[in-house]
A and B are shown apart, each in its own frame.
Chain A
Amino acid sequence: MKLRSCLFLALISLALATVPAETARRPRYGGVLRVEIGAVVSSLDPAAPAENSREAAAKEQMYALIYDRRTLDGPFSGVSGSGPFQIAEWEPGKHATLTANDGAPSGRPFVDSIRIQMGRPARDIVLDLELGKTDLSEIPPEQGRRAADLGVRVSVSQADELLALVFPAGRLATEDARVREALAAAIDRASIVNFILQKNGEAAGGLLPQWSSGTAFLFSTAADAGRAKELFAQIAGAPKLVLGYDSGDPLEQSVAERIVVNAREAGISVAAQAIPGAGAAAATRSALDVRLMRLRMSSPRPRRALMNFLTALGPLAGIDASLLPDPASPQEIYDRERAIVGSYRVAPLVWLPQVYGLSGRVRNWKAPGPGETWPLADVWLDVTPEAEGEKDKL
């Protein structure tokens, strides 16, 4: 063999050795995917209502695994087990085991089964990820930075969940738009993003993110405590506002407490009050002047996402929820957005991404976008020693 041939072979070998292992390996079947979620799912019956938004979201993810398709209006339907996985074990509120469906219409999933542990606290999830006791978990956005610092593989989606203040209609204390505007102006959104969310998020001025509408930059996100003081001083008999937040959501609690501090510095009296449950129904039931709510985009398309928001908030906040033309122009979408934001019935605060923690052996994971579910049928597990030891390298 000539020296040239030897050098060529050597270069080829070196190139093969330096190619990332993931790309070098083929997908493989088998293995148990360990998933931990914070929500508690009490029932998989589609007719059984979810107790809170977290349970509803978790049920959606499970339905996507065990049902083949959705109905036209959104929910999954068909026969349980017609999807890529079938329920093998089910202990309500604690854990579930799903096994791969060999006859799934979209083909057999790579993993043999998925073991889902429910009701895990965020702190424990991060710890389990760090210790390699779980393969995939959703992490609260404010914990993403800490998890990454601890060496956990973190996957972050686009910011597709809006955290906003919603002023329920009919409340005497907030009927004056100046009260709502003053509170909206008093909030330091940048501090919420930087400190509370640990920079996993974006300050929100509009109802749609910049990556979706392209017009979000037209909405101001800057705090103006002076303006807030001026407005609030104009109001006779300055009201004391009650701000409600989901008692089961630490992020909402932190943001609510920060809003109280911001408002206090602006001379606005706000008391934070934890309420059980979430969503518009809970806000309606409680005698709250303002409610902190998380609104997840149902679609990356701006019109559909905005309409979903308006449908959800319209009855509560008394805002214009009429249909936009389909298709709607960016100007029409912006005008509606501007009108709603200008009414100060909804005060957008921050956009939150979905943050996931992965073990080193999870392959082919892609953070789901708005309206998408977890692509667990496409995930496969790398059981090579390198993959097992990837965590240590990280």
Chain B
Amino acid sequence: MTFRSKLFWVFTLALLLSVALIAAGVMVVTQRAFEGLNQQHSDALVAQFQREFERRGQDIVHRVQGIADAEPTVRMAIDLSRPRSDVSIYVNDGRGVSRAHQLDILDFVANDGSIISSAEWPARFGYKLSWVTQPEDWAARGSFLTKVETPEGPTLALMSVSTVRVGDNNLYVAGGQRLGKEFLASLVLPAGMRALLYLNLDPSYQPANLLDANGPANDAERFAPILEREQKQPGEQTAKINWTSDPASAEIFHALPLLGRKKELLGVLLVGNSQREVAILENRIIWLALAVVGIGLVFGLLLSWWGTARVTRPVRKLAEGAREVAAGNWHAHVDVPGGGEIGQLGRAFNQMTQQMSEQRERLVQSERVAAWREVARRLAHELKNPLFPLQTTVENLQRAKEQNPEQFEEVFRESTGILLSEIQNLKTITERFSDFSKMPQPELASVNLNEVVRSTVKLFEAQFGAVGRPPITPELHLEEDLPAIQADQALLHRALENLILNAMDAMPAGGVLMLRTTHGNGDVHLEISDTGTGLTPEECDRLFTPYYTTKQHGTGLGLAIVQSVVSDHGGRISVESETGVGTAFHIDLPGQPTAPPRAQNFQIVLEKEKSKEGS
């Protein structure tokens, strides 16, 4: 993954994380805002209900008081205070008076608690309404909620009681209005809100007692948990009901207990707040947020792409410069504007390549000078050997001519033979140099390296056991299923000859010459080792340098030719050696050579013994 890609993904992830955090924050804040709004709506409706409750209570108090103060009621009270009064004539008064005063409930109750007339249950005359006669300051009580018996069963009513006192007798006027669907219908509710009333008339929760503005509420069973909690412990509560799996169908209900005179739970007002609008609004916000996030992401991604490209451009240039340097272009230069760290890095890179280039030039120059010196030394050395006999022979000829003319002819013949021999030597020397300078390009063909090894070793069999020199024992460890490689057999043969000759030179006292072939990873490996005198590390370092030799009569071109052949086949050669133990050359040749430029074939891997590495 490129630096730009990494940077891009880092930017993208950071952007995503930021957007997610912001979105989550917005959602939380929005959720809380909506919850607060819901609570405000519920509180407002509860407050409205309480105001309406109080207003109606006051209204009922005034109406009942008005009935008690009316002349017919006073006459009734006076009549009832008389002994043997006929109360039957008042039995139907309750209905008429209740209609006139718009009361659902109206009872005229005698001093003994018996009902004289009842509007809500006319047939109940004569029976007792005992709670009315209990000691209580009804004037101070005002309105209150109570359970009222009706022909249809018990119900809740907002009631008030007034008394008309005549002598020692009281006439009680108990009137009120039902608390039911009509009351709920009279509440002005904001859109999305509704009110329900549970009449707590039974010890356990009864769904039929839950009313809305139209009558018995639908799906009343769903309210059982909150209302059962109210029955156990009256108090304001909030519960959420999900009518379907759709979140928009949910409603939040606020429960308000309605208590009677003795603080008993008589009813529960449920204020429902539909979550539909909230859900729709939340959906809109979510979609808007998603759209903003999407647009932001696309924009952010584009910006990240552009930004990373801009930020990483100097780095890419630096990387390209580094690759050029690695490829050998020591003059690589990067153009990194700006004064930041990247700019400093670019300038440092340019300075570094410039210095490296200059140092390399100096190194090449010095190596070139050193090489020429070595060539000059070698040439001087090589030429000096035949020149000295030539000079001596010519001086012998001159001396013989002057001092022994009689022997001149004999000396002349000997001297000319010597001169021709030495001239031949000089010619040989020049041919060798000429051959090295004219190394041919390999002509590739399928070659079995084992065959090359065997044929080359066979040429030297006579020399290994020549009379007058210590014997050399060749050992061949050739892998039988060695794959064929694409190579020039003649060049390989020549390289192998040079290595064997070097090994023989390294073993003047005889020894073992071991040749081993192996293969792996598509390459074949050739190891040639001897048990000769070995090389010093310094000698190993310079071993493949042209014209460098450790021998008295060597030209220093043998291993250079070997290294050139191996390189021309795309292979590698390395040497390991230990003084007094021997030397081993390792050659790796590819199955299918990729001819590298000769300029690169200077790599020499020197693997030295650990002990020497330590030193």
**What is A's interface to B at a CB cutoff of 8 Å?**
145, 188, 191, 194-196, 198-199, 254, 257-258, 260-261, 265, 272
Contact = CB atoms under 8 A, between A and B. Distances in A.
A223 to B, nearest CB: 11
A254 B127 contact: no
Interface string B346-384: 000000000000000000000000000000000000000
Interface in B52-102: 88-89, 91
A254 B123 contact: yes
A195 B122 CA distance: 10
A258 B123 CA distance: 4
Most chain A CB within 10 A, of B122, B123, B127, is at: B123
A191 B151 contact: no
A188 B125 CA distance: 11
A261 B121 contact: yes
B474 interface: no
B121 A195 contact: no
B207 interface: no
B124 interface: yes
Nearest to A193: B88
Nearest to B90: A195
A254 B118 CA distance: 13
A194 B88 contact: yes
Contacts of B89: 145, 198
14 contacts: A145-B89, A188-B126, A191-B125, A194-B88, A195-B91, A195-B125, A198-B89, A257-B151, A258-B123, A260-B151, A261-B121, A261-B123, A261-B124, A261-B127
B151 A195 contact: no
A311 to B, nearest CB: 32
Given A195-B88, A196-B91, A257 B122 contact: yes
Nearest to B87: A195
A17 to B, nearest CB: 37
Contacts of B121: 257, 261
A195 B89 CA distance: 7
A77 B124 CA distance: 48
A260 B88 contact: no
Contact of A198 (B88, B123, B124, B125): B88
Nearest to B124: A261
Interface of B: 88-89, 91, 121-127, 151
Given A261-B127, A272-B151, 8 more contacts: A191-B126, A195-B88, A195-B91, A196-B91, A198-B89, A199-B88, A257-B121, A257-B122
Contacts, number: 29
A260 B88 CA distance: 19
A188 B126 CA distance: 10
Q: Which 9 A-B pairs have the closest CB atoms?
A: A257-B123, A258-B123, A195-B91, A194-B88, A195-B88, A261-B123, A261-B124, A195-B125, A191-B126
Nearest to A191: B126
Contacts of B123: 254, 257-258, 260-261
Interface of A is mostly: helix
Nearest to B116: A195
B127 A265 contact: yes
B75 to A, nearest CB: 13
A12 B104 CA distance: 64
Contact of B122 (A191, A194, A254): A254
A31 to B, nearest CB: 35
B224 to A, nearest CB: 27
Nearest to B91: A195
Contacts of A199: 88
Contacts of A196: 91
Contacts of A265: 127
B116 to A, nearest CB: 10
Nearest to A192: B123
A260 B121 CA distance: 11
B517 to A, nearest CB: 114
A196 B125 CA distance: 10
Nearest to A188: B126
Nearest to B151: A257
Contacts of B88: 194-195, 198-199
A257 B126 CA distance: 14
A261 B88 CA distance: 17
A188 B89 CA distance: 18
Contacts of B91: 195-196, 198
A196 B123 CA distance: 8
A47 B522 CA distance: 128
A390 B75 CA distance: 29
B333 to A, nearest CB: 110
A312 to B, nearest CB: 27
Contacts of A260: 123, 151
A199 B122 CA distance: 17
A145 B89 CA distance: 9
A145 B88 CA distance: 11
A292 to B, nearest CB: 13
A260 B89 CA distance: 22
A181 to B, nearest CB: 22
B276 to A, nearest CB: 42
A260 B91 CA distance: 17
Contacts of A254: 122-123
Contacts of A198: 88-89, 91
Nearest to A196: B91
A106 to B, nearest CB: 43
Contacts of B151: 257, 260, 272
A145 B151 CA distance: 26
A308 to B, nearest CB: 30
A272 B124 CA distance: 14
A195 B126 contact: yes
Nearest to A145: B89
A268 to B, nearest CB: 15
Contacts of A188: 126
A235 B67 CA distance: 46
Contacts of B125: 191, 195
Contacts of A191: 125-126
A84 B151 CA distance: 49
A194 B90 CA distance: 11
Contacts of A261: 121, 123-124, 127
A115 to B, nearest CB: 31
Contacts of B127: 261, 265
B97 to A, nearest CB: 15
